[in-house]
Amino acid sequence: MKELKPKLLMTPGPTIVPERILKALSMPIIHHRTPEFTEILRDAAGRLKPIFKTDNDAFILYSSGTGAMEAAIANTINPGDKVVSIVSGKFSERLRDIAIAYGANVESVEFNWGSEIDVEKIKEKITEDTKAVTIVQNETSTGVRNPVWKIGEITKETDTLLITDVISSIAGDNIQTDKWGVDLCIGGSQKCFALPPGLAFITVSEKAWNAIEKNENRKFYFDLMKYKKKFPQTPFTSSISLLYALEESLDMIEEEGLENRIKRHVDNAEFCRTEVKKLGLELFPEKEEIASVTLTAIKHEKSEEIRTKLKENYDILVAGGQSHVKGKIFRIGHMGFVGRSELEKTISALEEVLGDL
Ligand SMILES: Cc1ncc(COP(=O)(O)O)c(C=O)c1O
């Protein structure tokens, strides 16, 4: 393999993977049908629960985050079931589109990208026959954080499931799966866990298990019943090396302390917003109160030029806008292992790039 020149990854995933995790990845492979492996899987799944703040079952899937999004829908939604999808960005569109792909009767409640969701408008659409509501807590495409608990207040005491994507915020933001009433909570590895891409996480409530037991949708690899029955083994071959890496990431999270880690993300996000505003830039979210704590989305008509210059002249990678905001915004990730020094370096390079423009 050709050697790659490292770049400072300031994207909202994948993000910087620390040395300790890279080292764990290179440990010898053990077999996945052994007591040693069982011990690792049981340990990792158990240690994910406090990060999701849940007593529900937690599973590790060997896919990128989208695999767990698909698992959530495929296991609970029967063709024709009504699903209310809250859509305000690229990833909430994806969750809705998966529901459509599995034959759901989808009611899409749409909001402008970067705006605050209107809970009253959503509430009107949730009826007794609504099987599930889908929401993305941290919309990575817009840098907006959505108030999942307000939707949980509507669905909690009903049969409606709350399916929530926390892929770009879990282990960085304060995700309260049980308190918010989230039935299927979906995470991913290459964001705040500072892991390589390739693992997805899903927690499953009792209410969700009831729906899963009655589910008739066709599925195979992501059949969650198989994962439940087989635990603490996995139905198929596990990504052993990524599990080693997950164990190391969990060690690092526990050493730092989850609450300290959340505070670090909140502080870094505030620092990033303050510094970009000092440079005269405008944030993409319509209000600062709804801004994400793991990434900052910034408006600029020359976003692509800014990104190119950061990459070519400073070896710093930031993300661009997606879909209709491509070329209009850029996004700085400050998740996982990214600290103040990486942010300072990025802001100072950004200042020089803006001066050049
Ligand atoms: C909020 C959100 N949901 C879903 C995904 C999709 O995850 P993956 O690319 O790991 O499949 C991403 C990835 O950027 C994301 O940020």
DSSP letters along 277-303, please? HHTT-EESSSSGGGB-SSEEEEE-TTH
With respect to residue 85, please indicate whether it lies within any of the assigned structural domains. yes
| Pocket of ligand 1 contains residue 180 by CB under 6 Å | no
- Domain shared by 220 and 81, yes or no: yes
| Pocket of ligand 1 contains residue 14 by CB under 6 Å | no
With respect to residue 2, please indicate whether it lies within any of the assigned structural domains. no
Domain termination residue (choose one: 254, 274, 304): 254
pTM of the model: 0.98
Q: What is the pLDDT of residue 5?
A: 85
Range of the domain at 294: 8-14+257-356
d(CA 37, CA 43): 10
| Pocket of ligand 1 contains residue 187 by CB under 6 Å | no
Q: Residue with the nearest Cα to atom 7 of ligand 1?
A: 65
**Whether 337 contacts 15, CB under 8 Å:** yes
CA of 194 to the centre of ligand 1 (A): 14
- Domain shared by 221 and 81, yes or no: yes
Q: What is the pLDDT of residue 159?
A: 98
- Domain shared by 250 and 278, yes or no: no
- Domain shared by 249 and 263, yes or no: no
With respect to residue 44, please indicate whether it lies within any of the assigned structural domains. yes
With respect to residue 245, please indicate whether it lies within any of the assigned structural domains. yes
**Whether 189 contacts 166, CB under 8 Å:** no
Q: Residue 218's Cα: distance from chain center in Å?
A: 26
Cβ atoms within 10 Å, residue 271: 16
Kindly give, in sequence order, each residue whose CB lies less than 8 Å from that of residue 134, ignoring residues fewer than 6 positions away: 73, 83, 84, 85, 86, 92, 95, 96, 99, 163, 164, 165
* Ligand 1, pocket-test mutation among 140, 148, 199, most atoms within 8 A of CB: 140
CA of 317 to the centre of ligand 1 (A): 18
Q: What is the pLDDT of residue 88?
A: 98
With respect to residue 311, please indicate whether it lies within any of the assigned structural domains. yes
**At residue 144, what are phi and psi to the nearest 5 degrees?**
-110, 140
- Domain shared by 209 and 266, yes or no: no
Domain termination residue (choose one: 229, 254, 279): 254
| Pocket of ligand 1 contains residue 167 by CB under 6 Å | yes
Q: Residue with the nearest Cα to atom 4 of ligand 1?
A: 91
| Pocket of ligand 1 contains residue 181 by CB under 6 Å | no
- Domain shared by 190 and 288, yes or no: no
| Pocket of ligand 1 contains residue 91 by CB under 6 Å | yes
- Domain shared by 302 and 158, yes or no: no
Domain count, the chain: 2
- Domain shared by 307 and 181, yes or no: no
| Pocket of ligand 1 contains residue 285 by CB under 6 Å | no
Q: Which atom of ligand 1 is nearest to the CA of 188?
A: 10
Q: Which atom of ligand 1 is nearest to the CA of 64?
A: 10
- Domain shared by 148 and 217, yes or no: yes
- Domain shared by 248 and 270, yes or no: no
d(CA 144, CA 138): 6
Low-confidence ranges of the chain (pLDDT < 50): none
